[in-house]
Structure 1
Amino acid sequence: MRIGYAGFQHESNSFAHVPASLDKWKEAGILYGDAIRAEYETSQATIAGYYQRLRDEPEVELVPLVFARLTPSGQMTHEATEFLFREILESISTNGPWDAIFLPLHGAAVSDLYRDADGELVRQVRNLVGPDVIIATSLDMHANVSEKIVKYSDVVTAYQTNPHIDPDKQAFMAADMVLRTYRGEIRPSMFMAAPPLSVNILSQGTSDEPMASILRLAETARAIPGILYVGVVEGYPYSDVEEMGMTFIAITDDNPDLAKAVANEVASLSWQLREELQGGAVAIDVALKEASEATAFPIVLFDVGDNIGAGTPGDSTFILHAARKLGISQITQALCDPEIVVLCQELGVGSHISASVGGKADSMHGEPFDIEAKVIALVDGRYEEPKASHGGFRFYDDGNSALVKTEDGFTLLLTTLPAMSSSLEQFRSVGIDPVLQKIMVVKGVHSPRPAYEPIAAKMIWLATPGASSADLSTFVYKHRRIPMYPFEEETVWAPSETNEERLT
């Protein structure tokens, strides 16, 4: 049995100003062949799950083809989309024949060429390989799952944890279903329910209510005889597409009625809980005052509006400005500013810098923050996370980075690339122990939790402005469904009998 895998992963924020250009994809690294296996086989990412299931199956040849992953940002450019599609499709075409294809995607990729970039790739792969090749598509839990993805795949799975600590487990299940399908043991039948429901990013933690109750129902349904898979997909509210919103996938062994019933049952519970699935954050000043008065540390402040995992630039300064105005320092955080990193490199460790940092990528994330500071360390920004982390990734690269300490008490890790706060090794690599800090600012909502929750005395989510603001009313949507909850509170929904409910 020959299985090839190829794909790209990008979460596209329609409201972010920095596009996912081809240059950025190439800078991040487009991997081919064995380089993919070397990067991901020992991780906990999606691709690792394929190997975990199939490495001991002697009749299976698992062939790495092309894979690219880019930190979330604005929408993909026409040029980048064309290039990635061409590389993926040509690799599948020239290295066949295939019994199955694995597509490790995200599900929230939006491009200037295709608004449903993931679905369009699945469609083109299906047209290329024909109806008899098994296609398994692996998605992020923040996918906006389209009809194309479901229609042209035999199996669709998605992460079921947020923070995402199970990508390999979900891919393992996908690979298992593909193998059993090939052997004639099962015949997957899939149904997707898609109520017009957007979930606030603050309510998407899967260990928190009400999402935890929804996941428990899905887990209970997996025990029903004939059920192969049940997936809850939270959706990604910052992609302005028709498919934006929650979806619920059920896969059965040749029982379409059961798949429909189970998907609709889980969707119905979510609809009943729709008001509870909206959330709110704490005002910046209120959170800072609480942190400054704390007696146990570290206090971890989540910069919701500059959630790098949702496509923001990572250079928001709203919290820094507010802290200085309130006379609060002893704050440690990362901040993307490649220009000042270069300056620090030129001056060297131990030198003094007078500069304005952050607030430069666009007009949404604050004004530059003036500092008088000492350069403490210079590093290449590469580090390795040995434990389970958001997305299951092992190797990180923030680009060249500089640690500076300001005269008024701020500790800033300046990075060349937007640096997700997913690993404590980010700061340990420059000699900073997060456990010993008073106030840590992390740029994210859920992705920092696996790293920071075990050490935090308290975590507070801040209502910061930005391209990932928790207040969705600040964004102007052009393509989402209307009506849709919570935008139109009077929205009604009833379970659909078909997979095309969004298109009717």
Structure 2
Amino acid sequence: MIESAPQKRDFQHTPLRVGLLGIYHETNTFIQSATTLADFREGYWLESGRIRDEYQGANHEISGLIEVIDGAPDMELVPIFYAMATPGGLITRDCYEQLLDRMMQLLDEAGALDACLVAPHGAGVAEGYPDMDGHWLSLLRRKLGSEVPVIGTLDPHANVSDAMVDATNGLIAYATNPHIDQKRTGMAAARLLVRTLRGEISPVQFLVKPPVAISIEQQFTSNQPCLGLYTLAQELEQRFGLAAVSVLLGFPYADVEEMGSGFIMIADRNHSPAAAGQAQEAASQLSDFLLDNKQAFNGKKSGIGEVLRDFEDHPQPVLLLDMGDNIGGGAPGNSTLILEHLEASGFSDFFICLHDPESVAQCAEAKVGAGASLSLGGKRGFQTSVDILALYEGHFTEDAPRHGGFVHYDMGPTAVVRTLSGNTVMLTTRRTPPYSLRQLTAFGLDPHSFRGIVAKGVNAPIAAYCEVCPSIIQVDTAGVTQADMTLFEYKNRKVPLFPFEEYV
């Protein structure tokens, strides 16, 4: 890997040069298939001006970072490197080290910086680097030196480490799940950096992690119990005059020591000599709230059989969230468990999207209007006869704030078929998380025409589908993102940790 001496800052030049970079991945260590360089190439591999081209004016955290720095007459944004891949399995050592080498090379070429904005996820795990984000942030700090402010954003599903916090001056997490405030969070982080550079604020941050891991289906921030936790966080931020309070929900599908929930408190040493103590008091109150309500944060889970028995009691269309096959948590997106139950129980007029490149190729060969016998989904397969309704290239765009902040989507060659039972299945070549209603409407599918829509997610799809689905049900299905984290075999998590250990 590339190693170089720390850069020296030149305080005389104007405007102040603010670098922008990030390596972003949510890693599920319980998935057998690895995440490789090809996955990042198929995702977002952006260098220099391409970062601005992709995100300027969009709804991503980088969009917010760009907007604030562009609006500061004494600042100049220097986009350097940003790489992101769809959530998946452990990142290979070679992949991570190549990403790191390229980022550091471009950082050297960018010249001296007065500050740096960073956009990690916070739950990245690479082979040999269990705290991937802490590792690259620490190397960045070593290269820039201790006097250069480094401030950035985090996904609230981050498993935050001391290394991440020690390497930065401030990290602010999105405050919504689904993540519809990414741009707003980027703007908050950039404003904190601007104020720091101008000497208006002297941030100091603290990480507190009580022994609790919040269950994934309880991480919907608009509902209880998360709503109460976030409300308290806002109240404490105002009461103690803190620069920022971030709730880290955590990502349970990473078998690392840092797995679990927590809080980052950012205080201003210029605001009060007691800033550190106030931040610690606020963190203590948040920790007490989480511990006191830990049973509520574990939740109750409903299987597909129970859901279908009560289906007619819910206003339609109903959004069924397939939690065990959550693409946003790294799952393959090809489980047919819910589809099989629907077909076997005589349900029709449902929509489901499956990642199934083999079936897409078979449909393309058979042509639109023909019938085909397909083995849908993963290795276990679900054999069924279908009518091929349409074939598409699979490109669409999303302009509204949605989970992930993506603008351009590419599902690869895509087929839409209908089973003999009357259920519509979209088959994609690329694994595509269900973050946009445009995944249907861009291809002539009317969401209102379905009795139910199956989405491969837990909370993220809600932002896209709530406008057409009056009923939303999380379905406890088996898979690499199953809702009950205690069913996974961990080797590296801390002990004790609720819900694994009841008394903490």
- TM-score after normalising by structure 2: 0.94
Which one of 421, 427, 445 corresponds to residue 408 of structure 1? 421
Q: Which residue of 1 aligns with 2:235?
A: 220
Q: Which residue of 1 aligns with 2:396?
A: 383
Paired residues for 1:139-150 under 5 Å: 139-150=154-165
Equivalent AA in structure 1 for residue 231 of structure 2 = R
Q: Deviations over 1:350-369 (max 9, x none)?
A: 22211101023xxxxxx211
Shift in Å, 1:294 = 4.8
Q: Which residue of 2 aligns with 1:97?
A: 112
Matched, 1:468 2:460: no
Distance 1:208 1:447 in 2: 14
Equivalent AA in structure 1 for residue 330 of structure 2 = G
Q: Deviations over 1:405-460 (max 9, x none)?
A: 12221210001122211111001122111122111111101111011112113111
Runs of 4+ in structure 1 deviating by more than 3 angstroms, as ranges, are none
Which one of 338, 342, 347 corresponds to residue 366 of structure 2? 347
Distance 2:233 2:46 in 1: 35
Q: Which residue of 1 aligns with 2:221?
A: 206
Distance 1:372 1:358 in 2: 14
Shift in Å, 1:329 = 2.5
Shift in Å, 1:197 = 0.7
Distance 1:190 1:294 in 2: 48
Contact 2:174–2:182 (Cα < 8 Å) also in 1: yes
Paired residues for 1:447-466 under 5 Å: 447-466=460-479
Q: Which residue of 2 aligns with 1:335?
A: 354
Shift in Å, 1:315 = 0.2
Distance 2:242 2:470 in 1: 42
Secondary structure, counterpart of 1:114 in structure 2: coil
Shift in Å, 1:38 = 1.1
Q: Which residue of 2 aligns with 1:488?
A: 501
Contact 2:240–2:282 (Cα < 8 Å) also in 1: no
Distance 1:296 1:182 in 2: 53
Which one of 166, 181, 185 corresponds to residue 200 of structure 2? 185
Q: Which moved more, 1:52-61 or 1:445-454?
A: 52-61
Q: Deviations over 1:266-293 (max 9, x none)?
A: 12211111111001221212212333x3
Distance 1:264 1:210 in 2: 18
Matched, 1:299 2:318: yes
Contact 1:34–1:64 (Cα < 8 Å) also in 2: yes
Which one of 167, 174, 177 corresponds to residue 162 of structure 1? 177
Q: Deviations over 1:84-139 (max 9, x none)?
A: 11111111122120011111110000111200000101000001111111101311
Distance 2:239 2:67 in 1: 25
Matched, 1:137 2:152: yes
Q: Which residue of 2 aligns with 1:290?
A: 310
Contact 1:403–1:430 (Cα < 8 Å) also in 2: no
Paired residues for 1:233-248 under 5 Å: 233-248=248-263
Contact 2:347–2:421 (Cα < 8 Å) also in 1: no
Secondary structure, counterpart of 1:264 in structure 2: helix
Residues 489 and 306 (structure 1 numbering): CA distance in 2 closer, same or farther, change over 3 Å?
same
Which one of 25, 29, 40 corresponds to residue 40 of structure 2? 25
Shift in Å, 1:223 = 1.4
Distance 1:268 1:192 in 2: 15
Contact 1:334–1:419 (Cα < 8 Å) also in 2: no
Distance 1:268 1:90 in 2: 45
Q: Which moved more, 1:118-127 or 1:340-349?
A: 340-349
Percent sequence identity over matched residues?
Answer: 37
Q: Which residue of 1 aligns with 2:288?
A: 268
Q: Which residue of 1 aligns with 2:328?
A: 309
Equivalent AA in structure 2 for residue 187 of structure 1 = S
Contact 1:336–1:418 (Cα < 8 Å) also in 2: yes
Q: Which residue of 1 aligns with 2:12?
A: none
Report the RMSD for the aligned CA atoms in angstroms: 1.3
Secondary structure, counterpart of 1:6 in structure 2: strand
Shift in Å, 1:37 = 0.8
Secondary structure, counterpart of 1:23 in structure 2: helix
Contact 1:301–1:461 (Cα < 8 Å) also in 2: yes
Contact 1:280–1:463 (Cα < 8 Å) also in 2: no
Contact 2:339–2:352 (Cα < 8 Å) also in 1: no
Q: Which residue of 2 aligns with 1:496?
A: none
Which one of 382, 403, 406 corresponds to residue 393 of structure 1? 406
Structure 2: gaps of 5 or more residues: 1-15, 270-274
Shift in Å, 1:226 = 3.8
Q: Which residue of 2 aligns with 1:494?
A: none
Q: Deviations over 1:356-401 (max 9, x none)?
A: 01023xxxxxx21112112211112211112221122222222221
Equivalent AA in structure 2 for residue 151 of structure 1 = D
- TM-score after normalising by structure 1: 0.94
Q: Which residue of 2 aligns with 1:118?
A: 133
Equivalent AA in structure 2 for residue 130 of structure 1 = G
Secondary structure, counterpart of 2:90 in structure 1: coil
Q: Which residue of 2 aligns with 1:259?
A: 279
Matched, 1:322 2:341: yes
Q: Which residue of 2 aligns with 1:443?
A: 456
Matched, 1:106 2:121: yes
Shift in Å, 1:218 = 0.9
